[in-house]
Structure 1
Amino acid sequence: MTPTTTTAARRRTKGAPGHLRNSIVLTWGLAIALAAVLLPFYWLVVGATRSTGEIFDSPPPLTPGGHLLDNLQSLQDTAQFGRVVLNSLGIAAVYTLCAGTVCTLAGYAFAKYRFRGRDLLFGVLMLGLVVPGQVTLVPLFKLMGELEWLNTYQAVILPNLALPFGIFLMRQSMGTIPDELLDSGRVDGCGEFRLFLKVVLPPMRPALAALGIFLFLFQWNDFVWPLIVLRDSASLTVPVALASLKGVVNTDYGAILAGTAVAAIPMAVVFLALQRHFVSGLLAGAVKE
């Protein structure tokens, strides 16, 4: 064995405990972070299967109980929760489709067309990212009243179709498409709409998936605006219906937790269905060659 080999072996031996210690610390850190993320969801499941009295026992229960069906029945009797879930699913699906179309077309126009005032218009649009949504509640409410749209689903869907973040995401993603590819399609006689459908959209699937997840969750979780414009109890969305279950004197927390658990299912399904595109879609356009 040469002196060089002996020295290298000693260095590896000395460094091994340090690397092992770092790996143990990293493993424990990841385990603690994972527990911090999953424990609230586990408690949500436990609470959804327990009665209100059992939830507030000391010590609190740590295993699921047998009151899930009772909580769901109470939820249905009190808030017509089956109808409410269908309301939210319909509103979120229509909003995702319509807002996705608007954001995609606007992002394409800002990324690939040259027109006077384009940069100024885009800058004004991006100001919407820093303006709190509460600022627009009063004028939007007055506008919906003048249009006689109060207590209608179009009042929930239409005001946020041109979402600034969605337009920004699609503009950045479509900026990666080479202009030469579009010019060659125009030379071959491809119309603008067909060019958009056949050339632009196919490579944008990751970005469209990310946009779809964001839009669906945005509308599904929206609370303040549906609370203001929807009046009929049969037309409420899930967040508003769950908030209405909190009483002044008595509150059925078991039913509320059961409803929250049910409300989390569509979000999880949408994310799991599109999650493989999510990261690549958000990173599209981050690096420009």
Structure 2
Amino acid sequence: MINKLRSLPGYALLAVWALFSVFPLYFMAVSATNTSKDVLSSKMLPGTALFENIAVLFSTQNVVGAMTNSFLIAVGTTILALTVCSIAGYGFEVYHSKAKDVVMAILLLAIMIPFAATMIPLFQLFARVGMVNSLWAVVIPMISTPFLILLFRQASRSFPHDIIEAARIDGLSELSIFARIYVPTMRSTFAAAAVITFMMAWNNFLWPKVILVNNSVLTMPMLTANISAGYVTDYGVLMLAVLLSSLPTMIVFFLLQRQFAQGITGAVK
């Protein structure tokens, strides 16, 4: 009983912190049902303007096209990034070479280079190959990232290497070892990497804004920014757009939250 009483302040602090964390989501959801005037007056209760906001949003903005583009970019980036970075992380840890640490150090140095420094050369490169306004131009720069390679390499250090040797003795090829043994064993790391990559690709704004110069090719973050850039902003419609833009990432995180926690901590089962 005494231990429970001692833990009450901690639980109370966590409860207050949880309320502060959930409040922006609540206000966003409530504001999507209110008019712009109600949002500006900080109304905290659900309103009756939801269907009106939906009608205005879908009649003035290409929401379906933007959602489709964001979905294609996020899913394509996630699949390709997990494939490339997992193979790279697996190779850095499993195969022994004197130069691999040097190559890894060079990759880690790339994290220190801000994207703004490489944005103009990237745009010139894609412009020369005729990929401006192409969704592939958004996906390709995000396929291989030093962070994901490092994540898979660190997770691979807890992977039982004896299994690899046993599989090689049994005659399995390196590709079969990776696909049939490594991938199922490291599924929590794959889940964590998938959540991170999907969220980054879905919420990416700067590079799509630069490379997708035609307004007919929009992503959800770009569409939301366009709503707020007008002379008169309907904040009820804006909050609805933000809510729709946030739902996919929230769904992916809630579906994979347990595997995400295991993958971040490096747990291998």
Could you state the TM-score of these two structures normalised by the residue count of structure 1?
0.88
The residue that corresponds to 2:159 in the other structure is 177
Cα separation, 1, equivalents of 2:78 and 2:165: 31
Shift of 1:74: 1.6
Percent identical residues: 31
User: Which structure 1 segments of 5+ residues have no match?
Assistant: 1-11
Report the secondary structure of 2:96's partner residue: coil
The correspondence for 1:231, drawn from 213, 220, 232, is: 213
Deviation sequence 1:92-119 (CA, Å, 0-9, x none): 0111001110111111111111234211
RMSD over aligned CA atoms reads: 1.7
Answer yes or no: is 1:84 the counterpart of 2:84.
Answer: no
Q: Could you tell me whether the CA contact under 8 Å between 1:170 and 1:207 is conserved in 2?
A: yes
- Map 1:134-283 onto structure 2 (within 5 A): 134-283=116-265
CA-CA distance at 1:252 after TM superposition: 1.4
**2:138–2:211 Cα contact (<8 Å) kept:** yes
Secondary structure of the equivalent of 1:235?
coil
Q: Which has the larger radius of gyration?
A: 1
Q: Which AA in structure 1 matches 2:223?
A: A
Q: Which amino acid aligns with 2:132?
A: L
Q: What is the match of residue 46 of structure 2?
A: 64
CA distance in structure 1 between the aligned counterparts of 2:95 and 2:37, rounded to whole angstroms: 62
- Distance in 1 (CA, whole Å) between partners of 2:134 and 2:239 is 28
Match of 1:48? 32
Displacement after TM superposition at 1:222 (Å): 0.4
Inter-partner Cα distance in structure 1 for 2:43 and 2:235: 14
Given that 1:52 and 1:252 are in contact with CA atoms closer than 8 Å, whether structure 2 keeps it comes out as yes
Partner of 2:10: 26
CA contact (8 A) 1:98 1:161 kept: yes
Amino acid at match of 1:203: T
SS at match of 2:132: coil
Take 2:263 and 2:8, find their aligned partners in 1: how far apart are those partners?
33
1:234 aligned counterpart, secondary structure? coil
Structure 1 runs (4+) greater than 6 angstroms displaced? none
Note the alpha carbon deviations across 1:135-175, whole angstroms, 9 max, x for none: 11111111111111111001000012111111111111112
Rounded to whole Å, the distance in 1 between the matches of 2:251 and 2:193 is 15
Q: How far off its partner does 1:180 sit? A: 2.2
Work out whether residues 175 and 285 of structure 1, in 8 Å CA contact, stay in contact via their aligned partners in 2.
Answer: no
Match of 1:141, as an amino acid? F
1:105 corresponds to 2:54: no
**Structure 1 residue 131: Cα displacement:** 2.0
SS at match of 1:233: coil
Contact 2:188/2:267, CA 8 A, preserved across alignment: no
Q: Please give the per-residue CA displacement for 1:228-275, whole angstroms capped at 9, x wherever unaligned.
A: 011222321110110011235211111110011111111111111111
- 1:56 Cα deviation after fit: 1.6
Count of residue correspondences: 268
Q: Distance in 1 between matches of 2:224 and 2:56?
A: 12
Shift of 1:217: 0.3
User: What SS does structure 2 have at the residue aligned with 1:149?
Assistant: coil
